[in-house]
Amino acid sequence: MNIIHTKFLKMISIKNDFKTYSLLAAVTILFFTACNKAPEELPLPVQPVPTGKTLAQTIAGTPDDSLYYRMIVRSGLLPVISNINNSFTVYVAGNPAMRQFITAASGGAVPAGSPDAVYSGFISSVLPVASAAGIVGFNIVPQTLTTAEIPTTFPNFQYPSILNPAPTISALLRLTTFPATRNGNWLNNIPMTSVNITAANGIINHVAAVPTPPSKYLWDRINTDPGLTYLKAAINRADSGATAASSLQGALLNIGANLTVFAPTDAAFQATLTGAIYQGLVGLGYPADATTLALASAMASTPTVFSNPALYPVLTAQTVKGIVVYHILGTRAFTNNFPTTTTSYPTLLNGGIPAHPGVALTAVFGVPFVTSATVKGWGNATASNLIINAAPLTPDPFGTSDQFYLNGVLQKIDQVLLPQ
């Protein structure tokens, strides 16, 4: 009897539970039905469709952009900037700049003064598609960016383009552009000639020359420049015993780095090393005379001074590394973004000595390019001069200032910077 009664009570309990769960389910369904009424009662906001001419149409309709438009077509990227639902900032070189570029790119096969039909024909049939795609892609930033939105701070602010410089390394890599509005409007070290031309899907800024994407690393320049053999030897000495991951050469080959290298010429190193060795010899008891000076000059006459075991106690790897990193900023600084009043900035040496005052930069502007610039080390009596390009925008391997590489900028200077 007790067993039957117990089973009966369990059945009632189960039945009541079922009713409770059913009621809860019904309430829940009713609640969600009430909160999720028919879609037409809660319409999603409709985004307005952009109207007007696209970037592609605007460039195509500008007579002075006809050669650059031809390069866009050649690149295969015309559909990208034709999509009215995309949003871009596009840097465009006008026909005068394009003519200069094509004459240089053709090795003179398209001489200056040729009819535009000849320039256009070269772009359409001779210029490699990959080259056109690299240039055009490098000059497309996937966001609308007015010059008013570009910071005026030092150094140049960076904005990724749509160009992947090394897809085999990572599909996420993007080559960055460096626009600036300090001391004028610039893209990298190239002046903008007209800005903020609006289209339905973005903005066009005209530039005074064709901005070409870099293809080399900082180390490539240092390793091959016949005027930077001492800097190369100093880096090799500094890397003595270092792993590849911690070496300066590794940093100068790192595509993810963003550096400025102040590169003393061979003559600058010879002068500094001759003086340092002379003082060292006098300290060792050599007479302070012309003979000792000649001996010091002979010891400093070739880059092997850094690999001379007799000088290892003085030119230790750590000492040389400290000097080399004092010549490197952890940012990319074109001269057009240098301050016009002397201002100090940290170098990589500050990573080990945070309180170090860094180096002091200043520049003098012409119209529009920098005509002179200096960088002063804390231990130097006078500032070192940047060796400004003989002609504006002279590229690697002949340029001496604002040399643009995948991982930074190189500026040649006429003194070795001394940190103390």
Distance of CA 345 to the CA centre of its chain: 18
pLDDT tens across 24-49, in order? 333 333 333 334 444 455 555 666 66
Q: Measured between alpha carbons, how far is residue 36 from residues 24, 27, 29 in Å?
A: 18, 14, 10
Name the β-bridge partners of 363. Answer: 373
Q: What is the pLDDT of residue 41?
A: 53
Residue 4 has pLDDT above 50, yes or no: no
Q: Using 50, 70 and 90 to split pLDDT, how confident is the model at 67? A: very high
Residue 194 has pLDDT above 80, yes or no: yes
Break the chain into its structural domains and give their ranges.
55-207, 218-413
Residue 395: CB atoms within 10 A of its CB come to: 14
- Percent of the chain residues past pLDDT 90, beyond the cut: 81
| Mean local confidence (pLDDT), 168-185 | 93
Q: What is the pLDDT of residue 258?
A: 95
Residue 241 has pLDDT above 80, yes or no: yes
| Mean local confidence (pLDDT), 170-176 | 92
Q: Measured between alpha carbons, how far is residue 93 from residues 212, 235, 395 in Å?
A: 11, 38, 17
Describe the crossing of helices 116-125 and 95-105 by its angle, rounded to 10 degrees: 60
Which backbone phi and psi does 250 adopt, to 5 degrees? -60, -40
Q: What is the pLDDT of residue 9?
A: 31
Residue 367: CB atoms within 10 A of its CB come to: 7
Average pLDDT for the chain? 89
The answer to whether residues 335 and 401 touch, using CB atoms and an 8 Å cutoff, is yes
Q: Using 50, 70 and 90 to split pLDDT, how confident is the model at 15? A: very low
| Mean local confidence (pLDDT), 154-164 | 92
Q: What is the pLDDT of residue 394?
A: 95
Question: Domain 218-413 belongs to what topology?
Answer: FAS1 domain (2.30.180)
Residue 161 has pLDDT above 80, yes or no: yes
Q: What is the pLDDT of residue 48?
A: 67
Q: Using 50, 70 and 90 to split pLDDT, how confident is the model at 138? A: very high
| Mean local confidence (pLDDT), 337-342 | 96
Tell me how far apart the alpha carbons of residues 295 and 286 are, in angstroms, rounded to a whole number: 10
Q: Which two tokens stand for residue 373?
A: 């610039």
Q: Which element (helix H / strand E) includes 261?
A: strand 259-264
Q: What is the pLDDT of residue 169?
A: 86
Q: What is the pLDDT of residue 157?
A: 86
pLDDT tens across 196-209, in order? 999 999 999 999 99
| Mean local confidence (pLDDT), 334-357 | 95
Residue 396 has pLDDT above 50, yes or no: yes
| Mean local confidence (pLDDT), 261-282 | 95
3 state SS for 344-410: EECCHHHHCCCCCCCEEEEEEECCCCEEEEEEECCCCCCCEEECCCCCCCCCCCCCCCCEEECCEEE
Q: Which two tokens stand for residue 201?
A: 């899907």
Q: Using 50, 70 and 90 to split pLDDT, how confident is the model at 211? A: very high
| Mean local confidence (pLDDT), 282-290 | 95
> What CATH number was assigned to the domain covering residues 55-207?
2.30.180.10
Q: What is the pLDDT of residue 28?
A: 37
Q: What is the pLDDT of residue 29?
A: 34
Q: What is the pLDDT of residue 72?
A: 98
Domain 55-207 and domain 218-413 have a common topology: yes
Residue 190 has pLDDT above 90, yes or no: yes
Strand order in the sheet with 384-385: 343-345, 359-365, 370-376, 384-385
pLDDT tens across 214-231, in order? 999 999 999 999 999 999
Q: What is the pLDDT of residue 189?
A: 95
Q: What is the pLDDT of residue 310?
A: 87
Residue 237 has pLDDT above 90, yes or no: yes
